[in-house]
Chain A
Amino acid sequence: MTNENVILKINEFLTEEFEVDPGKIDPAANLKETLDLDSLDYIDLVVVVESNFGFKVKPEDFTGIITFQDFYDYVTRRVNAKELA
Chain B
Amino acid sequence: MPSWQGKSKGNPLGYRIFVSILKNWGVAPAYALLRVVVLYYFLFSVGSSKLIFHYFHKKLHYSRWSSLGLLYRNYYRLGQSLIDKVVIMSGIRNKFTFNFEGEEHLRQMIEMKKGGLLLSAHLGNWEIAGHLLKRLNTRIHIVMYDGEHQQIKRYMETVTGKRSMQVIIIREDLSHIYAISEALKNNELVCIHADRFVEGNKTMTAPFLGAPARFPAGPFVLATTLKVPLSFVFAFKETACHFHLYASEVKTYQGSNKAVVMETVLADFVQQMEQKARQYPEQWFNYYNFWQA
Contacts and interface: CB of A to CB of B under 8 A. Distances in A.
Contacts of B175: 59
A44 B221 contact: yes
Interface in B189-236: 200-202, 216-219, 221-222, 225-226
Contacts of B225: 43-44, 47
A53 to B, nearest CB: 16
The secondary structure that dominates the B interface is helix
Given A47-B225, A47-B226, A38 B218 contact: yes
A30 to B, nearest CB: 15
A62 B217 CA distance: 21
B201 A46 contact: no
A21 to B, nearest CB: 16
Interface in A46-66: 46-47, 58-60, 62-63
B217 A43 contact: no
B258 A41 contact: no
Given A36-B202, A39-B170, A59 B178 contact: yes
The secondary structure that dominates the A interface is helix
B173 interface: yes
B181 interface: yes
Contacts of B201: 38-40
A74 interface: no
B222 A43 contact: yes
Contacts of B222: 40, 43
A18 B245 CA distance: 37
Interface centre among B174, B175, B258, B259 (most CB of A within 10 A): B174
A63 B202 contact: no
B180 interface: yes
B151 to A, nearest CB: 25
A43 B181 CA distance: 9
A39 B226 contact: no
Contacts of B172: 39
A42 B178 CA distance: 10
A47 to B, nearest CB: 5
Interface centre among A43, A46, A60, A63 (most CB of B within 10 A): A43
Given A38-B218, A62-B174, A43 B180 contact: yes
B227 to A, nearest CB: 9
B217 A46 contact: no
B73 interface: no
B122 interface: no
A17 interface: yes
Contact of A63 (B173, B178, B259): B173
Which 7 A-B residue pairs are closest in the complex by CB-CB distance? A40-B218, A38-B201, A59-B178, A44-B225, A43-B177, A38-B202, A39-B170
Interface of A: 17, 19, 36, 38-44, 46-47, 58-60, 62-63
9 contacts: A38-B201, A38-B202, A39-B171, A39-B174, A40-B219, A41-B202, A46-B177, A47-B225, A58-B178
Given A38-B202, A59-B175, 13 more contacts: A36-B202, A38-B201, A39-B170, A39-B201, A40-B170, A40-B217, A41-B217, A41-B218, A43-B181, A47-B225, A59-B173, A59-B177, A63-B174
